[in-house]
Amino acid sequence: MTGPTVLRILVGVHLVWTVLLTPLALEPRPFSSFTPLAFVSLAMIFTTVTLDVVAFAIVGTRTRLAAALVAIGALLFVPPFIVDQLGLFSTIPAPTQITILEIAALATQLALLYVGMRLRRR
Taking only the tens place, the pLDDT of each residue in 61-78 is 999 999 999 999 999 999
Of 122, 120, 111, the residue nearest 9 (C-alpha)? 111
Every domain of the chain and the residues it spans: 3-120
Confidence of residue 102 (pLDDT cuts 50, 70, 90): very high
Of 4, 24, 16, 106, the residue nearest 64 (C-alpha)? 4
- pTM, 2 dp: 0.94
pLDDT on residue 100? 97
Q: Are 55 and 73 in contact (CB under 8 A)?
A: yes
